[in-house]
Amino acid sequence: MQRTLIVAKMDAANADAVAALFAKSDASELPHLIGASRRTLFRFHDLYFHLVEAGEDITDGLYKARSTELYKELNTGLSEFISPYDPNWREPKDAMATPFYHWEA
């Protein structure tokens, strides 16, 4: 299982709106285009954490999906509620956390 954690800023009051955007998107073909099998959204104060789980690395699928209308629609909707944590953000990989420890039973 591959996991990708995306970190950004979000006003906690917008959690329901963001969840609704993802619910609509997850009912479409977009998660399959990216290669995602599970998504979990977290919030902590003004932080947003987006955990994507997949059978393999989603990076290639994510970059390919960026040119689709499904991705553009989701991205446009999210831009109203989500802002980059890093002000130098340029592309999705700039918001991805780097794992530094893993344990499994």
H helices present in the chain, as ranges: 15-26, 30-34, 59-65, 69-78
User: Please, what's the b/e burial string for 52-81 (b: 16 or more CB within 10 A of its CB; e: otherwise)?
Assistant: bebeeebeebbeebeeeebbeebeebbeeb
What domain range is 20 assigned to? 1-85
| pLDDT, position 47 | 97
Residue 8 confidence (pLDDT): 97
pLDDT at 50 exceeding the cut of 90? yes
For residue 78, is it within any domain? yes
Q: Specify the pTM.
A: 0.91
pLDDT tens column, 15-49: 999 999 999 999 999 999 999 999 999 999 999 99
For residue 73, pLDDT beyond 90 = yes
How many domains would you assign to the chain? 1
pLDDT tens digits, one per residue of 79-99 = 999 999 998 999 888 999 999
The predicted structure's pLDDT at residue 91: 86
Do the domain assignments include residue 104?
no
Looking up residue 79, the CATH number of its domain turns out to be: 3.30.70.1090
Confidence at residue 92, expressed as pLDDT on a 0 to 100 scale: 84
Let me know if residue 12 belongs to a domain. Answer: yes
For tokens 């393999």, name the residue.
56
**Is-contact 70 28, C-beta < 8 A?**
yes
Q: Is residue 99 part of a domain?
A: no
Mean pLDDT of 3-21: 97
